[in-house]
């Protein structure tokens, strides 16, 4: 039985691990280039954090330096570790000394007696060049060197008196002599090693100015034969590091920045993140942490949706994908724990996993957009009030207006326009929402209910705490106050075939109005409730269309039986037109999901809702005017639906 795993560790790919991102062709090409290139040469691996630079270095090291009969020595340095020293002088000299020490340690191991003089000489010159280096810093840099070598360092740097002032060129020449002699002795002894490969990692994690300083020092000291450098650094880091020298990057001085980079780097290699094939990668790690079942992993459309959400949010960055999966794994465990405490045995359905994953993608890729959902996850009810609270102004004076036909889309666009990053990714963001809506509709679920519940769970994995004051409501008082203003407004707007309007029943949980004394199914109910930090007003009704045949509970089969499928499609269009007419009053359920069979009756229900963060808004003249007009239009449409020819004579 395999061991249970709940999280993915974010560490570089091990040398023997299988390549799940299909990087093999790039690795092979780089490996061959390195093995047969002239020296000295420097290669820059460029890419954002988490794009796989260290993993690629590991695999190159395995292929070039660790293979049987390898012709290359491997020298590794993580600049981030040395960057923890107190000042840049110690960091720079510490890094260079660490590289020199590894070369010396290798030379001492291969030819301890024959190279002893050169080793001593390198340490002596290094001491003169880096005389400002503290004794503590030196001990740090030589911590990985053998005891004999450390003794030589101590003697050369801290006990001998300075008799000659050396410079970087002296150090370079002596180091070159040591490397050359080491390789020469190898040939004499039949040792296959012919060059040193230096893997310099995490240059993009340290201060850019310091990174540029390290590049310059390495160029001045290690630009020698038999040395190959592979650096993890991006051109953008170099640009930032040269700001103090050349100023901000412009079209006029761009050549100066590029010339500096080209002087040091002979081969820039951009990590091919956009070429990563992440379908199998995502499937494998979702399976490894027990998020998806074997059946789901074989469902092409299911995996395709997960890959789509990933691509629209964080792209193909392996580190970000691991973070997504870890968050999903935790939320899955949290839901199971809550169900267990509530004595529920339900498991997450496939569509729920997809929706939760989509929301996590938003949280990871676009945290500011996620924070809007944390404030109000009911996007269909984002209103002008919500927009004003987030300091955005809604306008239709833009090229995207024709496709932004919903208020929430317009608000989202206005919010994204305030940020260059969000603006560039606006269509990705909106497509994530649209795909989640499609998934919810296909499974006959209300998206806002799932989002609201999931946002609450995800609050523990958010990097920002969103303040959500608890709101309370006195249902009877709100309904009573609403009726005082709404009933007179409805009475003024009544029109045929509606005959009257009067309140129906008691106002305890809901407020109901009927529009015909004689006929049933000619009423509308209104309820109020709170969700997140908003007040909601929900209104609508259920309509009995016709009797359902015995043992038939499939609504669409019933429509086909009577040949009224097209009639129902027209009804859907009518309700969608009503929804579009009133900007701030929105569907609770999509019309096509409102069809169901109950007690052998074919039923159709349609509900709408409106939200506010200020309960007084429900009593304003404007809202009462809009709500009363909506109710009359709704009842006219309800009357039309009720009296349509749902049963055709056979």
Among the three residues 230, 251, 270, which one is the final residue of a domain in this structure?
270
Q: Are residues 186 and 321 in the same domain?
A: no
Q: What is the mean pLDDT of the chain?
A: 80
Alpha-carbon gap, residue 610 to 510, rounded angstroms? 15
Among the three residues 270, 299, 323, which one is the final residue of a domain in this structure?
270
The answer to whether the CB of 84 falls within 8 A of the CB of 270 is: no
Any domain includes 27: no
> pLDDT, tens digit, for every residue of 327-360?
888 887 887 787 778 777 677 889 988 998 898 8
Q: Report pLDDT for 84.
A: 67
**Cα dist from 299 to 22, 216, 306, 315, 332, whole Å:** 21, 53, 11, 22, 20
Q: Are residues 625 and 515 in the same domain?
A: yes
Q: Are residues 281 and 396 in the same domain?
A: yes
**CA atoms within a 13 Å half-sphere pointing along the CA-CB vector of 472:** 1
Q: Report pLDDT for 640.
A: 93
Examine the pLDDT at 441 and tell me if it is beyond 80.
yes
Q: Report pLDDT for 305.
A: 92
Residue 83 backbone phi and psi in degrees, to 5: -70, -5
Q: Are residues 301 and 373 in the same domain?
A: yes
Any domain includes 18: no
Q: Report pLDDT for 138.
A: 43
Any domain includes 320: yes
Domain that holds residue 505: 475-642
Examine the pLDDT at 618 and tell me if it is beyond 90.
yes
Q: Are residues 453 and 496 in the same domain?
A: no
Instruction: Provide the pLDDT confidence category of residue 325 given band limits of 50, 70 and 90.
Output: confident
Domain count, the chain: 3
Structure tokens given for 371: 């924070």
SS3 (DSSP) at 76: strand
Q: Are residues 297 and 255 in the same domain?
A: no
Give me the CATH number covering residue 587: 3.30.1460
Q: Are residues 112 and 181 in the same domain?
A: yes
Mean pLDDT value across residues 285-306: 87
For 386, other C-beta atoms within 10 Å of its C-beta total 23
> pLDDT, tens digit, for every residue of 194-239?
989 989 888 877 788 888 888 887 888 888 899 998 888 877 878 8
Across 114-128, 242-256, 483-497, 502-516, which has the greatest mean pLDDT?
Answer: 483-497
Backbone CA torsion sign across 183, 189, 192, 197: negative
Alpha-carbon gap, residue 166 to 125, rounded angstroms? 6
Q: Are residues 255 and 149 in the same domain?
A: yes
Any domain includes 405: yes
Alpha-carbon gap, residue 4 to 237, rounded angstroms? 40
Q: How far is CA 422 from the centre of its chain?
A: 13
Q: Are residues 118 and 141 in the same domain?
A: yes
Examine the pLDDT at 7 and tell me if it is beyond 50.
no
Any domain includes 7: no
> pLDDT, tens digit, for every residue of 476-509?
999 999 999 999 999 999 998 888 999 988 888 8
Q: Report pLDDT for 163.
A: 56
Q: What is the DSSP letter of 372?
A: H
Pick the residue with more confidence: 55 or 86?
55
Alpha-carbon gap, residue 321 to 306, rounded angstroms? 11
Q: Are residues 316 and 388 in the same domain?
A: yes
Q: Where are the alpha helices (DSSP H) in 418-554?
A: 420-424, 426-442, 447-458, 475-493
Any domain includes 152: yes
Among the three residues 270, 290, 316, which one is the final residue of a domain in this structure?
270
Model confidence pTM above 0.95: no
Q: Are residues 435 and 513 in the same domain?
A: no
Q: Are residues 191 and 285 in the same domain?
A: no
Average the pLDDT over each of 131-135, 312-316, 485-489, 537-541 and give the range with the smallest value: 131-135
Examine the pLDDT at 104 and tell me if it is beyond 60.
yes
Any domain includes 151: yes
Mean pLDDT value across residues 449-466: 69
Backbone CA torsion sign across 37, 42, 44, 45: positive
Any domain includes 24: no
Length of the chain: 650
């Amino acid at each position: 039985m395999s061991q249970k795993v709940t999280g993915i560790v974010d560490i570089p790919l091990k040398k023997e691990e299988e390549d799940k991102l299909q990087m093999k062709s790039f690795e092979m090409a780089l490996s061959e280039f390195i093995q047969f290139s002239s020296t000295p040469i420097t290669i820059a691996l460029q890419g954002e954090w988490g794009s796989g630079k260290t993993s690629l270095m590991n695999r190159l090291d395995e292929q070039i330096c660790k293979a049987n009969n390898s012709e290359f020595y491997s020298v590794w340095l993580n600049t981030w570790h040395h960057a923890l020293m107190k000042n840049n002088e110690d960091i720079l000299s510490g890094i260079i000394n660490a590289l020199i020490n590894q070369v010396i340690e290798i030379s001492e191991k291969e030819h301890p007696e024959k190279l002893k003089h050169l080793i001593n000489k390198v340490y002596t010159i290094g001491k003169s060049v880096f005389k400002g280096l503290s004794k503590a810093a030196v001990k740090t840099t030589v911590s990985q060197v053998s005891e004999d070598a450390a003794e030589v360092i101590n003697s050369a740097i801290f006990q001998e008196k300075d008799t000659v002032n050396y410079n970087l060129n002296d150090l370079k020449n002596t180091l070159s002599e040591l490397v050359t002699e080491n390789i020469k002795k190898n040939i004499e002894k039949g040792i296959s090693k012919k060059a040193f490969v230096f893997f310099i990692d995490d240059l993009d994690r340290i201060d850019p100015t310091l990174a540029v300083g390290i590049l310059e020092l390495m160029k001045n000291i290690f630009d020698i034969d038999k040395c190959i450098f592979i650096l993890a650094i991006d051109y953008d880091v170099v640009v930032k590091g040269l700001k103090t020298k050349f100023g901000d990057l412009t079209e006029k001085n761009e050549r100066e920045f590029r010339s500096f980079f080209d002087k040091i780097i002979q081969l820039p290699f951009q990590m091919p993140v956009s070429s990563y094939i992440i379908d199998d990668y995502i499937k494998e790690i979702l399976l490894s942490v027990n998020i998806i079942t074997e059946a789901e992993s074989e469902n092409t459309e299911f995996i395709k949706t997960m890959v789509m959400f990933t691509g629209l949010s964080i792209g193909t960055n392996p580190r970000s994908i691991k973070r997504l999966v870890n968050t999903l794994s935790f939320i899955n465990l949290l839901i199971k724990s809550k169900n267990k405490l509530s004595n529920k045995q339900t498991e997450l359905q496939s569509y729920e996993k997809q929706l939760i994953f989509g929301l996590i993608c938003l949280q990871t890729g676009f945290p500011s957009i996620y924070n809007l959902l944390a404030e109000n996850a009911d996007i269909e009810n984002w209103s002008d009030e919500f927009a004003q609270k987030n300091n955005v102004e809604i306008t239709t004076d833009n090229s995207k207006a024709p496709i932004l036909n919903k208020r929430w889309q317009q608000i989202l666009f206005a919010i994204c326009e305030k940020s260059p990053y969000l603006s560039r990714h606006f269509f990705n963001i909106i497509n994530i929402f649209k795909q989640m809506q499609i998934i919810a509709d296909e499974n006959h679920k209300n998206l806002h209910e799932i989002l609201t519940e999931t946002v609450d769970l995800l609050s523990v994995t958010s990097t920002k705490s969103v303040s959500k004051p608890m709101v309370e409501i006195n249902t009877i008082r709100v309904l009573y106050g609403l009726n005082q203003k709404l009933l007179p407004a409805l009475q003024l707007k009544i029109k045929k075939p509606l005959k009257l309007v009067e309140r129906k029943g008691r106002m305890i949980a809901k407020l109901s109005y009927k529009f015909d004394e004689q006929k049933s199914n000619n009423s509308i109910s209104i309820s109020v409730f709170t969700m997140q930090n908003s007040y909601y007003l929900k209104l609508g009704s259920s309509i009995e269309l016709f009797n359902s045949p015995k043992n038939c509970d499939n609504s669409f089969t019933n429509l086909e039986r009577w040949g009224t499928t097209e009639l129902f499609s027209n009804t859907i269009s009518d309700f969608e037109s009503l929804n579009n007419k009133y900007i701030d009053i929105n569907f609770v359920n999509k019309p096509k999901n409102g069809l169901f069979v109950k007690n052998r009756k074919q039923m159709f229900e349609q509900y709408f809702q409106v939200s506010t963060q200020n309960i007084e808004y429900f009593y304003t003249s404007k809202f009462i005017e809009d709500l009363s007009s909506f109710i009359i239009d709704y009842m006219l449409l309800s009357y039309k639906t009720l009296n349509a020819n749902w049963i055709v004579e056979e």
